[in-house]
Amino acid sequence: MANDFNEATHEVAEQGKVKCKDCGGLLEFNPGVSSLKCIYCGTENEIQTSNEPVVEEEQDFLAYLANATATAETIQVTTVKCGSCGSSTSLRPNVTSDSCPFCGTALVLSGGSTSSSIKPKYLLPFSIDKNKGIELFKNWIGGLWWAPNDLKNVARNDKLKGLYIPYWTYDSNTISNYTGQQGTHYYVTESYTETVNGQSVSKTRQVQKTRWIPVSGTVNDAFDDVLVNASKSLPEKLANELEPWDLHELKAFNEQFLTGFVTEQYQIDVKEGFEKAKVRMESVIRGTVNKSIGGDVQQITSLNTTYNDITFKHILLPIWLSAFRYSEKVYRFMINGRTGEVQGERPYSWMKITGAILGVLAVVGTAIFLYMKYKHS
């Protein structure tokens, strides 16, 4: 029996290409440490990584667009697409059944497809383990105001899954030509009449006015690691609120860090990702333009930006995710796998909210009644 067990675990490890040094069993990455932990004998197998700081290499954006197949290192990835939410994930070797980590729907693994994708260059390994994630999940669920009473039973924390989410980062130097108006405040004295104790009284006050003058100019900005979520499966607003990420701790891509976790493949390509990066850059550029315009207030009439020296890289970032259904709607809860930052969607109990509103109205109504009674007594 023991020999059969060892042979079976050895076969699984061979197919997964990550073997335990003691029993030959399947290994899983142990968050917070640089090791893989055997799920059978508990032995920690050190991941061979360099202690030297990672010197990040960027891919030339325009060169990639001109000849994508020749300028980027690719990998063949087998993915399973969820028929409910459309997310595409690559699962661990030998997984025969699973549910979608984004919406909880059962996945049809026989429908997987193989495609060529840009190989991730770097990643941030998980530093928060599942037990800590479950604790954060419980605290979040328990702290929700106006939540339905049965939510804790529906949103079970055993559904918490660790995912590596695809991201692009972009670097660029920008030159922006603008036209606009500079506003400078000044004050004038204004006379007005006010009734005091039944008498009409003339008074004066200072009123703020703004003097506008046309302006134009050019500003320069340098952008480094503008982060763009390449997944369409996560609510973009919540994913952005998981930031900041400690990108200075990026590790060179090593498949061993992925062991025991699900990896989503990017659904937003490099070109579309840069359009999203432009949106994030524009908010910074507008801030630079406003400083250049000066004055008390500013108006930007036109803005024309040229993007130079554009580079990018493909990275993976760790997220703990729980998806649960309540009243036929999917809600997602996310944890930054590095910092523990929590963001989530949640249902509301309108019965509780209505009850609270009626309670407040009752208190206000009672106070008014008592006041009127006292006033006329």
Sorted by where each begins, the domain ranges of the chain are 1-48, 56-172+225-292+313-346, 350-377
Distance (Å, rounded) from C-alpha 374 to C-alpha 364?
Answer: 15
What is the per-residue pLDDT for 201?
Answer: 87
**Predicted local confidence at residue 101, as pLDDT:** 65
Residue 119 has pLDDT above 80, yes or no: yes
Higher pLDDT, 221 or 105: 221
* For residue 315, pLDDT beyond 90: yes
Among the listed ranges 203-212, 264-273, 311-320, 337-346, which one has the minimum average pLDDT value?
337-346
Residue linked to tokens 């554009």: 310
**Are 87 and 102 within 8 A, CB to CB?**
yes
Residue 329 has pLDDT above 60, yes or no: yes
For residue 235, what pLDDT is reported? 80
What is the C-alpha separation between 61 and 278, in angstroms, rounded? 14
Cα 102 from Cα 43, distance rounded (Å): 31
Q: Which two tokens stand for residue 115?
A: 């495609």
What percent of the chain shows pLDDT beyond 70?
59
Task: Categorize the per-residue pLDDT at 178 as very low, low, confident or very high, splitting at 50, 70 and 90.
Answer: very high
Q: What average pLDDT does this structure show over 330-334?
A: 78
User: Does residue 104 or residue 319 have the better pLDDT?
Assistant: 319
The percent of residues above 90 in pLDDT, for the chain, comes to 35
Mean pLDDT of the 251-264 span: 84
Each residue's pLDDT tens digit, 34-86: 666 666 666 666 666 555 556 668 889 999 888 865 656 766 666 677 766 66
CB 330 within 8 A of CB 103: yes
Q: How far apart are CA 215 and CA 191, in angstroms?
A: 34
CB 162 within 8 A of CB 260: yes
pLDDT (tens digit, 9 = 90+) per residue, 194-234? 888 888 888 899 999 999 999 999 999 999 999 999 988 88
Which residue stretches of the chain are H helix? Answer: 2-16, 61-66, 68-71, 130-142, 151-154, 236-240, 270-293, 350-375
- Cα within 13 Å of Cα(227), Cβ side: 18
pLDDT at 342: 85
Beta pairing, strands 297-326 & 122-123: parallel
Contact indicator for 260, 18 with CB cutoff of 8 Å: no
Mean pLDDT of the chain: 77
As a whole number, mean pLDDT of residues 165-191 equals: 96
Q: What is the pLDDT of residue 322?
A: 79
More confident residue, 258 or 88: 258
Largest CA distance in the chain: 104
Helix, strand, or coil here: 279?
A: helix
Q: What is the pLDDT of residue 210?
A: 96
Question: 77-83 — which CB contacts under 8 Å span 24+ positions?
Answer: 77/114, 77/115, 77/116, 77/117, 77/265, 78/112, 78/113, 78/114, 79/112, 79/113, 79/114, 79/115, 79/265, 80/107, 80/108, 80/109, 80/111, 80/112, 81/111, 81/113, 82/107, 83/108
Rounded to the nearest 5 degrees, what angle is found at the Cα of 102, between the Cα atoms of 96 and 108? 30
Quote the pLDDT of residue 168. 96
CA dist 230 and 274 (Å) reads 10
Q: What is the pLDDT of residue 36?
A: 65
Is residue 94 over pLDDT 50? no
Asked if residue 90 has pLDDT above 60, the reply is: yes
Q: How many residues does the chain have?
A: 377
Residue where the block lists tokens 């917070």: 32
Position 10 scores a pLDDT of 35
